[in-house]
Chains A and B, each alone.
Chain A
Amino acid sequence: MNRTGQRVLAFSAIASVLIGCLALNTFAAGVTPGWWKESAGERFPLELRYPNAHGQVGIVSVAPVDTRGHPFFEPMGTNGRACVTCHQPANSMSLAVETVRQRWKEAGAQDPLFAMVDGANCPNLKPDDERAHSMLLKHGLFRIGMPWPPRDASGKPIQPEFSIAVVKDPAGCNLDAGFGIASSTPTVSVYRRPRMSANLRYVTTSFSLSGRFDGKTGLPLAIDPKTGKRVGLPIMSDARVTTLEDQARDAIRNHMQAAAPVSEDRIRGIVDFESQVYSAQVSHPLAGSFTASGTPKALGPAALRDGQAIVAGFNYNNPVFFSFDEWKTPQPGDTPEQAAFRASVARGYDVFFVRPMWISDVSWFNSIGMGNPYKRTCAICHSVHLTGNDISPGVMDIGVNNVPTTNASVDTADLPVFRVTCDKAAPGHPYLGREFLTHDPGRALITGKCFDIGALVMQQLRGLAARAPYFSNGSAKDLAAVVEFYDLRFDMKMTDREKQDLGNFLSVL
């Protein structure tokens, strides 16, 4: 497959394809469309576009990058993986499950993507057996093995406030004698999706309403030892590190299985690259190209490249995604289908930005002074201008990890189930109490705190169409499932049209 041939596909070519028929495999057979293999050595251009089920995703780079020998594109560990293995441009610098399946068909276990350390349900399974990789192949989930009890930054065990027991272990690793909780190196295996390594200027820039405090925890923000600046907890799902440099080190050590630390120059190279890459959906078969005049100005990756970080967006001065008024009424030359879809997206933004709902039982949100429930809109939490992640650094538990707060919209059947029991002396989870079931204790696997169980760092909302499935545990197979989850979780009582509108809106981001 020649990637260069994919660049900047003309919209006319896309528009000619009926909705739903534009699959990733519309390109050369035999090679995953747009797959950036490790050490390919190609030039990363100023702009890339790749097709997906909702049109095209775009990648813009502030400067072209020669990837020959570049640390983002070169393996640095022992299993052949590079950063790009799991942060693919065609998947908005994340990884879609469809891409994973395609790689298995083409390369099977030989592809470093399926490295047994975390690309398998458990490291001791047979590499060539497809069932050994079912979490990755079915849900796009990598195994994250966390030490139990948790360790502090120096590696010293933390006395957790809760005990944990395995109730259900479909993947088999938590009860495994060699890798499970009862093994000689007690480990809790949870399964999580990779995050976007793009638009990071909007994610990593520290913002706090409380100066030197983390406004949520009431404790001082961490200090980046390199810069001496206060930093929030915006990186990685469980915020186990606070800087991109440490995230890169963590990934090289754990996902690439490096035997030794890599040089600071290599770390710098990774961070420099991912800090200058922006990604978002750039066209839709019906809505058209997002670079055309009259397009809402939040759309497309260039808006992110040129935008201001980090701005609080839950207001009319700097709305999260500006305005979609351009699409509320038909423009000259619009086809009826085009006008209808654009109007639906615009209505979907209204659902997101101004439609009130009762947000309830969300720890680290309702529990920190907002009140429970709290009546506002999606954008009160998805508040960073242009990316829609949380302007207030830190975690929250929206309910997707803990069993009592999941619902029928999501597929959790393959996830492990743990019973967590909090000490009587410790504050329990603010809404679930001291004993309940969870698929992923989340931040609590870092802090050992009961009130952190199920809480994770919110993700940004860009490039969604290119990187299904959704939520940290991959439980929402598509955007409709995401919308349905929130409708049930917060009893929003959306009409079918509102659900469709909100889903269409999310699909163009």
Chain B
Amino acid sequence: MKHIDKPLHFLASLALAGVCAVAPAAAPSTERNFVACPIVLDTEDIPCWVAEYEGERYFLAVQTGRSAGVTFVPQLKHRVLVEGTVQPDAPRMCGGIVLGPVKLSVFPDVEPDCGRKLPGDGYKVTGPRPIGPDGVPPGGRSTAVRAARPAAPGRAQQEAQIRADAAAGKPREFEILYFFGSNYLPFPVEQASVDQAAEYFAATSGARVVVTGYRGEALLSNGSKLVEEQPLARQRAQKVADILVNFGVPKDRITVRWEDAPQNNHGVLDWTRRRVTVLGTR
């Protein structure tokens, strides 16, 4: 496995200089990027998570569950970085303005008094998972409150497509996104992305695999900026590469790269820049 510490410092400096020259003082008004202590509401039928910023309540998530596809709902005792786009036409949820898409990153440090659990205040929430067991009890009303969700292709179907693409030499690119400050691969989407990348590259022969890691910045609505620590780009890339090898991609076909400069999107979907890409080259 090759490790290339790409000499991007000069280019990155230029880029950063350019960004700084044109960057707004804060995230655009369409965005709400802030750090807060979360609030969980004991709403009917399932709990609802909100946060407050500058006197306004924002809806963050409903309680889901791993088998429903985790959205990584917040945690009491931890601050959460909220990065979202205001949906002006969406009705409020749990009294909060709806952000969408929204990325929630739970900060690791414990703050015992951060966050509150409050009554549901009469709000009713529907979501993909109930409080009780899944499904319909015999002779009873379903406790499952299911939102309409598009049918996703099954794992077997996805894997078959990946193998077909690999056999046909069809190029594929894989992207893994991260929570702020973290190299954890959450279930299910990001784990599935790495799994699929391994499936694809293990089934191809000869193609070199380039794994590139990035770290990011989050431009907040109050104008301040959070920057991920410098080693994270390398750590993310190396971790993905190690997993690819564990999953059967030959080590000598993998090149690991990372970019030291933090990436941003000027306060709009900044979280899409905290990532690893996996590309094949001939």
Task: Check if A69 is an interface residue, CB within 8 A of chain B.
Answer: no
Interface core residue of A370, A371, A376 (most chain B CB under 10 Å): A371
Bound-complex Cα distance A356 to B134 (A):
13
Q: A428 contacts B66, CB within 8 Å?
A: no
Q: B76 contacts A209, CB within 8 Å?
A: no
Chain A 313-324: CB-based contact to B (< 8 A → 1; otherwise 0): 011110100010
Interface of A is mostly: loop
Chain B 24-63: CB-based contact to A (< 8 A → 1; otherwise 0): 0000000000000000101000110100000000000101
**Residues of the A chain whose Cβ atoms lie less than 8 Å from the Cβ of B136:** 316
**Residues of the A chain whose Cβ atoms lie less than 8 Å from the Cβ of B77:** 361, 372, 431
- CB contact list, A294-347 vs B, under 8 A: 312, 314-317, 319, 323, 325
Q: A316 contacts B243, CB within 8 Å?
A: no
What would 23 A/B residue contacts be, using CB atoms closer than 8 Å?
A: A209-B66, A209-B67, A211-B155, A211-B195, A212-B198, A215-B187, A218-B187, A219-B185, A220-B246, A312-B67, A316-B135, A316-B136, A317-B135, A323-B138, A353-B133, A369-B70, A370-B73, A372-B75, A373-B40, A428-B109, A428-B110, A430-B110, A431-B110
Q: B133 contacts A374, CB within 8 Å?
A: no
Which one, A219, A360, A371, A434, contacts B243 given CB within 8 A? A219
Q: From known contacts A220-B243, A369-B72, A371-B49, infer whether A354 and B186 are also in contact, taking CB-CB under 8 Å.
A: no
Q: From known contacts A316-B133, A323-B138, infer whether A371 and B73 are also in contact, taking CB-CB under 8 Å.
A: yes
New A-B pairs, 9, CB < 8 Å, besides A218-B184, A369-B66, A376-B132: A212-B247, A218-B190, A353-B132, A366-B75, A369-B187, A370-B73, A428-B109, A430-B108, A431-B110
Q: A360 contacts B76, CB within 8 Å?
A: yes
Task: Check if B131 is an interface residue, CB within 8 A of chain A.
Answer: yes
Chain B 241-256: CB-based contact to A (< 8 A → 1; otherwise 0): 0010011000000000
**How close is B142's CB to chain A, nearest CB, in angstroms?**
9
**Residues of the A chain whose Cβ atoms lie less than 8 Å from the Cβ of B247:** 212, 220
Task: Check if B137 is an interface residue, CB within 8 A of chain A.
Answer: yes
**How close is B14's CB to chain A, nearest CB, in angstroms?**
32
Task: Check if A213 is an interface residue, CB within 8 A of chain B.
Answer: yes
Chain A 368-386: CB-based contact to B (< 8 A → 1; otherwise 0): 1111111111011000000
Which one, B49, B110, B133, B195, contacts A379 given CB within 8 A? B133
Q: A375 contacts B63, CB within 8 Å?
A: yes
Task: Check if A210 is an interface residue, CB within 8 A of chain B.
Answer: yes
Q: B63 contacts A374, CB within 8 Å?
A: yes
Q: From known contacts A369-B70, A371-B63, infer whether A433 and B131 are also in contact, taking CB-CB under 8 Å.
A: no
Interface of B is mostly: loop
Q: B110 contacts A432, CB within 8 Å?
A: yes
**Residues of the A chain whose Cβ atoms lie less than 8 Å from the Cβ of B192:** 210-211
Task: Check if A187 is an interface residue, CB within 8 A of chain B.
Answer: no
Q: B110 contacts A375, CB within 8 Å?
A: no
Task: Check if B188 is an interface residue, CB within 8 A of chain A.
Answer: yes
Task: Check if A30 is an interface residue, CB within 8 A of chain B.
Answer: no
Which one, A209, A314, A368, contacts B133 given CB within 8 A? A314
Q: A377 contacts B132, CB within 8 Å?
A: yes
For B155, the closest partner residue in chain A by CB is A211
Bound-complex Cα distance A358 to B77 (A):
15
What residues of chain A have their CB less than 8 Å away from a CB belonging to chain B? 209-213, 215, 218-220, 312, 314-317, 319, 323, 325, 353-354, 356, 358, 360-361, 366-377, 379-380, 392, 427-434
Q: B188 contacts A209, CB within 8 Å?
A: yes
Bound-complex Cα distance A429 to B112 (A):
12
**Residues of the A chain whose Cβ atoms lie less than 8 Å from the Cβ of B67:** 209, 312
Interface core residue of A220, A369, A430, A434 (most chain B CB under 10 Å): A369
**Residues of the B chain whose Cβ atoms lie less than 8 Å from the Cβ of A434:** 110
Bound-complex Cα distance A234 to B70 (A):
23
Q: From known contacts A375-B131, A427-B108, A432-B110, infer whether A218 and B66 are also in contact, taking CB-CB under 8 Å.
A: no
**Residues of the B chain whose Cβ atoms lie less than 8 Å from the Cβ of A429:** 110
Bound-complex Cα distance A215 to B134 (A):
20
Bound-complex Cα distance A159 to B76 (A):
30
For A392, the closest partner residue in chain B by CB is B66
**Residues of the B chain whose Cβ atoms lie less than 8 Å from the Cβ of A314:** 133-134
**How close is A448's CB to chain B, nearest CB, in angstroms?**
17
Which one, B109, B187, B195, contacts A368 given CB within 8 A? B187
Task: Check if B169 is an interface residue, CB within 8 A of chain A.
Answer: no
Bound-complex Cα distance A379 to B192 (A):
26
Q: From known contacts A317-B135, A354-B133, A373-B117, infer whether A433 and B110 are also in contact, taking CB-CB under 8 Å.
A: yes
For B159, the closest partner residue in chain A by CB is A211
For A436, the closest partner residue in chain B by CB is B110
Q: B133 contacts A377, CB within 8 Å?
A: yes
Task: Check if B65 is an interface residue, CB within 8 A of chain A.
Answer: yes
For B198, the closest partner residue in chain A by CB is A212
**Residues of the B chain whose Cβ atoms lie less than 8 Å from the Cβ of A370:** 63, 65-66, 70, 73
Task: Check if B267 is an interface residue, CB within 8 A of chain A.
Answer: no
**Residues of the B chain whose Cβ atoms lie less than 8 Å from the Cβ of A220:** 243, 246-247
**Residues of the B chain whose Cβ atoms lie less than 8 Å from the Cβ of A392:** 66
Q: B155 contacts A376, CB within 8 Å?
A: no
For B111, the closest partner residue in chain A by CB is A433
Bound-complex Cα distance A253 to B37 (A):
50
**Residues of the B chain whose Cβ atoms lie less than 8 Å from the Cβ of A353:** 132-133
Task: Check if B74 is an interface residue, CB within 8 A of chain A.
Answer: yes
**How close is A110's CB to chain B, nearest CB, in angstroms?**
50
For A313, the closest partner residue in chain B by CB is B133
Q: A218 contacts B191, CB within 8 Å?
A: yes
**Residues of the B chain whose Cβ atoms lie less than 8 Å from the Cβ of A428:** 108-110
**Residues of the A chain whose Cβ atoms lie less than 8 Å from the Cβ of B137:** 316, 354
Q: A369 contacts B186, CB within 8 Å?
A: yes
**Residues of the B chain whose Cβ atoms lie less than 8 Å from the Cβ of A371:** 40, 47, 49, 61, 63, 73-75
Interface core residue of A360, A376, A379, A429 (most chain B CB under 10 Å): A376
**Residues of the B chain whose Cβ atoms lie less than 8 Å from the Cβ of A431:** 77, 110
Q: B187 contacts A209, CB within 8 Å?
A: yes
Bound-complex Cα distance A220 to B241 (A):
12
Which one, A212, A361, A366, A375, contacts B46 given CB within 8 A? A375
Q: B185 contacts A218, CB within 8 Å?
A: yes
Q: B246 contacts A376, CB within 8 Å?
A: no
**How close is B9's CB to chain A, nearest CB, in angstroms?**
24
Which one, A215, A356, A360, A375, contacts B66 given CB within 8 A? A215
Q: A372 contacts B187, CB within 8 Å?
A: no
**Residues of the B chain whose Cβ atoms lie less than 8 Å from the Cβ of A323:** 138
